[in-house]
Amino acid sequence: MASPKPLPAELSAGSFTIGEGRLGGISPWRARAKDIHVPSRGIRVPVGAQQSLLARARTYTQLGTPDTVSHDSAATIHAFKVPGVLANAASAPSAGLLHLTRAGSAAPRRKGVVGHRSLLEPADIVMIQGVPVTSIPRTLLDLAGTGTLTVEDLVVIADDLVCEHERYQHPRTARLTLGEIVLYAGRQRPVAGLRLLRESLGLVRVGVDSPPETRLRLLFGRSGLPADITSRLNSSSPMRCGTSAHSTPAGGSW
């Protein structure tokens, strides 16, 4: 049996829709060849193709329905500092599933997709390399509504998003301000997760560098100990960048 004709360069690197295949000169027979995987109806992927989640998601949003990448998938694309409960899910059978939200009467239903139905405002959607993805504030709200994350988990994520400082050799710029997230949450109608998100935003602090630092700060706060551990020694200190100074009211250190 003759080997399949090589795919055009523009189709060989990753997922493509049947429509894109036709435009690229792919016949129905060629689209069913053994070197092409069918992850879901209307979508084809060259066997062995390595692609990012964003690239894989693109084809699912090009099938004629107004679907937006959301929830866990949007969190991955936005590089959220997700807690272990989500990070460990990368090895679970559901790890390859794509979360999509549709603002209609029914959630998306197709192989490889976790479908959600919700009203999305224009400001809830951002375009990343041509792919509609829920915005950072909307993704935070969606994650809060899953019932999987705690207040502390959400604070960890938000602390990282709003972190901004010029300390040492590693200054950071906030991806958005805490005020912007608070304003977004304040404008939302009551939905699942909104109360949890608002509670977590009251605990977010600007300048916290890492998830362990956030969790330590929150632990101090719950214990009645000084919770402000975001201060650092000045840049002339011989100590390594990232060393936290924790002081007690009496001047001692932790």
Q: Give mean pLDDT in consecutive 10-residue pieces for the chain, a chain of 254 residues.
A: 79 92 90 91 92 95 92 96 64 70 88 94 96 98 95 96 85 93 96 96 93 91 71 42 42 36
The number of distinct structural domains making up the chain is 3
Q: Is residue 7 part of a domain?
A: no
* Residues 43 and 70 occupy one common structural domain: no
Look up residue 36 and give its two tokens.
Answer: 């092409």
At 220 the pLDDT is 87
Q: Is residue 60 part of a domain?
A: no
* Residues 38 and 75 occupy one common structural domain: no
At 3 the pLDDT is 75
Alpha-carbon distance of 148 to 16, in angstroms, equals 33
Q: Quick check: 139 and 75 in contact, CB under 8 A? A: yes
At 85 the pLDDT is 56
Look up residue 62 and give its two tokens.
Answer: 């090009």
* Residues 70 and 93 occupy one common structural domain: yes
Q: Quick check: 78 and 118 in contact, CB under 8 A? A: no
* Residues 155 and 130 occupy one common structural domain: no
Q: Is residue 87 part of a domain?
A: yes
Q: Is residue 244 part of a domain?
A: no
Q: Quick check: 158 and 178 in contact, CB under 8 A? A: yes
Q: Is residue 18 part of a domain?
A: yes
Q: Is residue 251 part of a domain?
A: no
**Structural domain range at position 107:** 66-134
* Residues 111 and 174 occupy one common structural domain: no
CA 227 to chain centre: 28
Q: Is residue 246 part of a domain?
A: no
* Residues 35 and 73 occupy one common structural domain: no
- Decide which of 78, 108, 134 is a domain's last residue: 134
At 194 the pLDDT is 97
Please list, in sequence order, all residues whose beta carbon lies within 8 angstroms of the beta carbon of residue 193, skipping any fewer than 6 positions away: 141, 142, 143, 144, 145, 146
Q: Quick check: 134 and 99 in contact, CB under 8 A? A: no
* Residues 209 and 161 occupy one common structural domain: yes
* Residues 115 and 162 occupy one common structural domain: no
Q: Is residue 128 part of a domain?
A: yes
pTM over 0.85? The answer is: no
Alpha-carbon distance of 55 to 14, in angstroms, equals 7
* Residues 214 and 158 occupy one common structural domain: yes
At 180 the pLDDT is 97
* Residues 45 and 75 occupy one common structural domain: no
Look up residue 84 and give its two tokens.
Answer: 């272990």
